[in-house]
């Protein structure tokens, strides 16, 4: 029986698959979630439809009622009794005005006409002595009439206060003023029984009680009396009240509106019960609190109001309750008085009106602030506050992983006194402050220019200049850095960088000081107007031209080809076809700015201030300035101006580092200049706009020797702060770009030479093979075996490694490793692991197809560790001088160099995403139409993950106000946050062998070793070894050099890769290729008669990549040699062709 069951088969077919329990539960859960989502979506849709139908119906009814109301009032003569006013006039009026005007926060012209007509009827009715005609007599009628009257009166008060808050007597029209005046007259009459003509002695007490209830409502939060008065007062300015200050009373509608508003503000004090224990929402304390919070905190209140009205506001009966209320106020209410917790209905512009005090002398104001700021900074420096703050905040930033902890730490460390200072500097962070100063400066300058005869007083003899404003904001940047270390000068920099025209004006002033000769630098680098090209001596020019061709031509071709992607002929540095192209490399004096050759110590205090402010502001702007604005639109500066700025900063920073910056007083200038210079240099490396000679010019005559520079850099890089204090050597760290690329490569090799020597002195390398590491690698598992045997070694990878291969059949391969097998191992492991198919690295979507860590690698088994191991492989190749044929993405290299990537670098990673973000950034319409939020969707291993770009990103809709934040947040995620774990892993492996300071010698464009550039045939021929019977004069050898001279550049690179496994020549030429490029003779004699008959050698050339050897048969004809070579190099085989 058991045997029978054992051989049973399923009759359901081979395609049927049993679903697992977990999969079934997940499927059921997903279906349940889908049903719940569908149910909620349907309910939400029904709710939205219901709300919309209700809104639409109410709007239609309101419009219909307004039309009927206008017909009733304008075309029918009826007796306007109090009952008719309440039921036929006010009831429909309040309905359509509320839904058509109040809820939309705007009053149309048609509504203005209706309101004026209604208010006119009400005022006439209230002035009537006939109780049947007086609307207010309903307040003393039956209980139902009282209830209806109270409701309608409250609605009328709300409408009148809304009209007052929207009234602008300075810029509004006459209709607005008349309407506001009528509204104030109505609300004043409604809240004062003295204006009720129909009141008798019998019903006075009832009327008084009703009025008090109405005032109680008006002063409550629901009535909103004080916020509305505040909005009205905030719109007043000195100009509108200047004509009223010296007069007692003028029959002016604007004056009456202001007087009525003050009357209403004081009315709760007069009508409220003085017993604070009386139940009810309104009493003296409550009114005093509202009066303090909303009225007394209005900036320049006394200057806004007519002088005749101020005594009423300062009366003892008003201020005494206010002082008592301040004593018993809670902390929250006091914070509200400071302006931090105001009601949302109050505009933020009411807190800071964007204007100086009336009659302020701007020149004296700036002069006094500069003196105080300078004294404050001197005092802080004397007590050691600046130095202590900088050190402590740096330690906090380095050790804190949580921004909240940082804020708490700084507040605890620096005390409350520093933070209290920042409230006094708040106007400095606002754009109106700077714009007012600039406007005043221009206006005074125009007055002086147009009027030659001016009074000889201080106001005109010492006018406000841009230099004074520069001093002000330069001091503010330093003060904010000290007193607000958690944020620093960021608020001031944001304002300065985005104030239209300020940076341009600052540069024009600075340019007039530093470039007084007005030397022009054209885009073609034509220096005919400079002192170099004013020399008419042709002999001297020819001498310089020859020297440039000899020294500078070959030196820069590699670097330029890396940056621009142009061929050797495109760069036109070696051919010397045009005289101007030869002069380009030797016009260093043009880029070496003479006034800055002594560093900060050689310039005046004024220039130092202008430089500090310009560098700090422009470096902040460069962080958000995209390539389209920089290169195409050329804002805020043209490319010619950008080159002048770069040359100015390059000269200043190099000489400041070489000769000494002059102590702590110049540290802010040097820090800002270094930051700005590095941003410009990195942008030039990514997309060239400066000639190479610009970066080299300051150090052309006094660069230290390579060995000395390497030793100095190695010693000082451990302590960068100490390095900056040692003259002549700090430039090695601060401005490594002043060294030509080839010299920096030599410095890199010198570092490795020094490291190997130090390891030998430490006993880590005792002799040949004594400390070597033996590894056995299977051909079919080269990556896995290399990872298992080498990953744990760490820095021991610097030792000699001997490799033994095991064939795919499991048999050990014959041969001894004298360096060739290890080179083959590194080449093969890099080729396999960097292939996108392996899953650790992927290629960018750009045409370059550069390598970048695959974000899905962290989900693979040992994925992060494998990435770290590949960093060690690249580090070992760099350490041993072995070329690997890979090309990393610019963004990934930036991470290895410890640099932050910005928006424009996204184009090198994902061009389509970059274009989409630029579309959002420059979108003219409402960005809400694009339905974007602060999230990004990632797909890995078949699953989708939604990642928030900021806390609460799912619920944050992208709008016109925050679209720049969205664009930069998305770029930051793609460029920095997404790849950071994997790039850190690769960096850890790389720095096990290569010091980080060595890597920082190069920029991202110089880091890559791969590429399909051409090779120098002459250099290769001069550094080729011949074996097996070949000599340089052999017929086949001569044919070989003739044939490859006729190859395309791509074919020559393929030939080099066929022989050496890398398509790129060594950075310093083929003399540094190890082992030496070798052509080995393979004898293949052909019978004489076969040769006469047209036959040639049929054997293909082969290669031994581990020894960089080309095994070349003895071909007789160039056509055969060319065909065989092309076939071999395109076959993706080498040794197998033997």
* Residue indicated by tokens 């910056």: 661
Give the up-direction half-sphere exposure of residue 173: CA atoms within 13 A in the CB hemisphere: 3
| Helix (H) or strand (E) run with residue 775 in it | strand 773-778
Write the CA distances from 828 to 442, 607, 832, 884, 959, integer angstroms. Answer: 69, 58, 6, 9, 51
Return d(Cα 378, Cα 24) in angstroms, integer: 74
Active site residue 541: no
Q: What gap in Å lies between CA 1081 and CA 323, rounded to an integer? A: 107
How many CB atoms are closer than 10 A to CB 908? 23
β-bridge partners, 999: none
Cβ(467)–Cβ(391) below 8 Å: no
User: Among residues 136, 167, 685, 1106, which one is catalytic?
Assistant: 1106
What Rg, from alpha-carbon coordinates, does the chain have?
41
- Number of neighbours of residue 174 by Cβ within 10 angstroms: 8
Cβ distance 680 to 571 under 8 Å?
no
The conformation of residue 957, written as its DSSP 8-state character, comes to B
Chain-centre distance of CA 130, in angstroms?
Answer: 72
| Distances 1074 to 512, 805, 878 between C-alpha atoms, Å | 54, 21, 12
Q: Strands 1109-1113, 1077-1082: parallel, antiparallel or unpaired by DSSP?
A: parallel
Residue 273's CB: how many other CB atoms inside 10 A?
14
3-state class (DSSP) for residue 615:
helix
Helix axes 466-483, 490-497, angle to 10 degrees: 150
Cβ atoms of residues 580 and 526 within 8 Å: yes
DSSP run (H or E) holding 1109: strand 1109-1113
Give me the residues paired with residue 1103 across strands: 1110
DSSP string computed for 787-848: HHHHGGGGGGGGS-EEEEEE-TTS-BPP---SSHHHHHHHHHHHHHHTSGGGSSEEE-SSTT
Please check whether residue 963 is in contact with residue 921, taking contact to mean a CB–CB distance below 8 angstroms.
Answer: yes
User: How big is the CA angle at 487 (ends 482 and 491), to the nearest 5 degrees?
Assistant: 100
Degrees, nearest 5: CA angle 61-66-68: 95
Answer yes or no: are the C-beta atoms of 224 and 162 closer than 8 Å: no
Active site residues: 1106
């Amino acid at each position: 029986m058991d045997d029978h069951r054992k051989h049973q088969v399923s009759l359901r077919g081979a395609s049927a698959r049993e679903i697992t329990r977990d999969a079934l539960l997940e499927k059921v859960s997903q279906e349940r979630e889908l049903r719940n989502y569908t149910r909620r979506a349907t309910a939400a849709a029904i709710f939205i439809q219901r709300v919309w139908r209700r809104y639409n119906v109410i709007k239609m009814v309101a419009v219909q009622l307004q039309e009927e109301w206008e017909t009733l009032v304008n075309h029918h003569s009826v007796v306007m009794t109090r009952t008719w006013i309440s039921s036929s006039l006010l009831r429909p009026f309040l309905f359509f005005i509320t839904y058509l005007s109040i809820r939309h926060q705007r009053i149309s012209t048609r509504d203005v006409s209706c309101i004026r007509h209604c208010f006119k009827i009400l005022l006439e009715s209230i002035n009537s002595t006939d109780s049947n005609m007086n609307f207010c007599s309903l307040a003393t009628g039956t209980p139902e009439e009282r209830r209806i009257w109270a409701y309608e009166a409250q609605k009328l008060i709300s409408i009148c206060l809304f009209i007052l808050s929207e009234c602008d007597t300075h810029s509004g029209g006459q209709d607005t003023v008349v309407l506001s005046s009528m509204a104030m007259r109505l609300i004043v009459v409604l809240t004062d029984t003295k204006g009720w003509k129909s009141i008798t002695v019998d019903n006075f007490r009832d009327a008084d009680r009703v009025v008090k209830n109405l005032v109680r409502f008006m002063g409550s939060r629901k009535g909103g009396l004080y916020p509305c008065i505040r909005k009205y007062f905030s719109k007043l300015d000195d100009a509108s009240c200047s004509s009223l200050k010296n007069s007692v009373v003028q029959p002016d509608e604007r004056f009456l509106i202001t007087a009525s508003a003050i009357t209403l503000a004081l009315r709760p004090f007069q009508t409220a019960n003085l017993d604070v224990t009386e139940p009810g929402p309104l009493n003296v304390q409550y009114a005093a609190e509202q009066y303090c919070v909303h009225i007394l905190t209005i900036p320049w209140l006394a200057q806004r109001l007519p002088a005749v009205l101020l005594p009423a506001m300062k009366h003892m009966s008003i201020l005494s309750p206010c002082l008592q209320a301040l004593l018993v106020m809670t902390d929250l209410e006091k914070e509200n008085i400071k302006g931090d917790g105001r009601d949302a209905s109050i505009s933020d512009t009411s807190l800071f009106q964007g204007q100086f005090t009336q009659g302020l002398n701007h020149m004296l104001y700036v002069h006094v602030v500069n003196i105080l700021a300078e004294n404050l900074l001197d005092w802080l420096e004397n007590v050691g506050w600046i130095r202590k703050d900088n050190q402590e905040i740096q330690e906090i930033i380095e050790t804190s992983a949580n921004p909240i902890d940082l804020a708490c730490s700084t507040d605890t460390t620096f005390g409350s006194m520093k933070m209290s200072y920042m409230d006094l500097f708040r106007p400095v962070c606002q754009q109106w402050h700077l714009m007012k100063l600039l406007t005043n400066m221009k206006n005074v300058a125009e007055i002086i220019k147009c009027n030659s005869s001016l009074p000889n007083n201080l106001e005109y003899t010492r006018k406000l200049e841009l230099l004074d404003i520069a001093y002000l904001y330069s001091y503010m940047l330093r003060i904010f850095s000290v007193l607000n270390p958690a944020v620093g000068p960021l608020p001031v920099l944001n304002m300065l960088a985005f104030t239209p025209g300020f940076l341009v004006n600052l540069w024009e002033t600075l340019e007039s000081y530093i470039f007084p000769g007005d030397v022009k630098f054209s885009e073609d680098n034509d220096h005919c107007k400079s002192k170099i090209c004013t020399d008419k001596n042709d002999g001297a020019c020819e001498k310089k031209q020859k020297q440039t061709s000899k020294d500078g031509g070959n030196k820069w071709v590699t670097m330029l080809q890396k940056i621009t992607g142009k061929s050797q002929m495109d760069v036109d540095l070696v051919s010397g076809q045009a005289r101007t192209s030869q002069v380009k490399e030797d016009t260093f004096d043009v880029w070496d700015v003479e006034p800055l050759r002594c560093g900060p110590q050689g310039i005046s205090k004024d220039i130092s201030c202008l430089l500090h402010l310009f560098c700090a502001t422009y470096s902040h702007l460069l962080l958000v300035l995209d390539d389209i604005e920089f290169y195409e639109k050329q804002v805020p500066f043209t490319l010619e101006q950008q080159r002048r700025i770069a040359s100015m900063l390059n000269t200043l920073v190099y000489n400041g580092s070489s000769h000494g910056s002059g102590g702590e007083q110049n540290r802010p200038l040097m820090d800002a200049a270094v930051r700005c210079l590095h941003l410009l240099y990195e942008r030039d490396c990514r997309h060239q706009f400066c000639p190479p000679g610009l970066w080299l010019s300051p150090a052309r005559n006094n660069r230290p020797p390579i060995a000395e520079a390497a030793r100095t850099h190695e010693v000082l890089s451990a302590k960068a702060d100490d390095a900056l204090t040692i003259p002549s050597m700090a430039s090695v760290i601060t401005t490594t770009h002043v060294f030509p690329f080839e010299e920096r490569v030599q410095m890199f090799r010198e570092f490795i030479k020094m490291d190997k020597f130090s390891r030998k002195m430490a006993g880590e390398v005792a002799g040949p093979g004594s400390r070597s590491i033996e590894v056995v690698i299977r051909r079919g598992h080269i990556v896995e075996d290399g990872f298992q045997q080498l990953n744990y070694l760490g820095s021991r990878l610097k030792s000699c490694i001997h490799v033994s291969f095991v064939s795919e059949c499991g048999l050990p391969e014959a041969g001894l490793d004298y360096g060739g097998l290890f080179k083959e191992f590194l080449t093969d492991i890099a080729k396999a692991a960097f292939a996108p198919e392996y899953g650790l690295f992927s290629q960018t979507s750009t045409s370059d197809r550069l390598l970048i860590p695959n974000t899905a690698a962290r989900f693979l088994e040992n994925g992060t560790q494998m990435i770290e191991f590949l960093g060690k492989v690249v580090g070992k190749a760099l350490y041993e001088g072995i070329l690997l044929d890979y090309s990393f993405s610019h963004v990934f290299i930036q991470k290895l160099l410890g640099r932050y990537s910005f928006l424009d670098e996204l184009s090198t990673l994902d061009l389509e995403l970059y274009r989409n973000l630029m579309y959002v950034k420059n979108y003219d319409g409402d960005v809400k139409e694009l339905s974007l939020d602060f999230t990004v969707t990632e797909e890995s291993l078949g699953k989708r993950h939604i990642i928030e770009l900021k806390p609460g990103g799912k619920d944050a809709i992208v709008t016109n106000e925050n679209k720049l934040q969205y664009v930069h947040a998305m770029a930051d995620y793609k460029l920095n946050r997404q790849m950071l774990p994997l790039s850190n892993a690769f960096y850890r492996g790389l720095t096990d062998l290569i010091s980080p300071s060595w890597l920082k010698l190069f920029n991202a464009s110089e880091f890559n070793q791969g590429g399909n550039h051409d090779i120098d045939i002459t250099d290769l021929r001069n550094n080729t070894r011949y074996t097996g019977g070949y000599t340089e004069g052999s017929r086949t050898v001569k044919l070989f050099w003739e044939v490859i001279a006729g190859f395309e550049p791509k074919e020559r690179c393929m030939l080099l890769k066929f022989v050496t496994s890398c398509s790129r020549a060594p950075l310093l030429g083929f003399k540094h290729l190890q082992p030496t490029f070798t052509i080995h003779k393979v004898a293949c004699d052909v019978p004489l008669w076969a040769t006469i008959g047209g036959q040639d050698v049929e054997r293909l050339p082969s290669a031994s990549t581990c020894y960089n050897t080309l095994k070349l048969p003895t071909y007789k004809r160039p056509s055969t040699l060319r065909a065989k070579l092309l076939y071999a190099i395109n076959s993706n085989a080498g040794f197998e062709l033997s």
